[in-house]
Amino acid sequence: MKTPLRLARERRSLTIVQVSASTGVDPGNLSRIERGSQTPSKDVAEKLAKFFGHDVTEIQIIYPERYMTAIPAEAA
């Protein structure tokens, strides 16, 4: 299962380091947010949503478990 944030990043073929450099979010924190093991602040969620042009919403970033989809076997 991938979070909406990770899917948005992968659709743009960006690395965590590239997103981190562009948004000012620490790469370790960004990685944990992508995995759903860390809940971002509202400010960080807003910053990431704006960076991705709202391909992913702040709500999807804050509550990823509500929006996670299964990964097709061939894509895993």
pLDDT digits (tens, 9 = 90+) for 3-51: 999 999 999 999 999 999 999 999 999 999 999 999 999 999 999 999 9
How many Cβ atoms from other residues are within 10 Å of residue 63's Cβ?
Answer: 16
Distance, CA of 9 to CA of 16 (rounded, Å): 8
Report the CATH number that the domain containing residue 64 is assigned in CATH: 1.10.260.40
| Residue 22 pLDDT | 97
| Residue 1 pLDDT | 81
The range of the structural domain enclosing residue 70 comes to: 4-75
Average pLDDT, stretch 48-73? Answer: 87
pTM: 0.85
Q: Would you say 33 and 40 are in contact if contact means Cβ atoms under 8 Å apart?
A: yes
Q: How many domains does the chain have?
A: 1
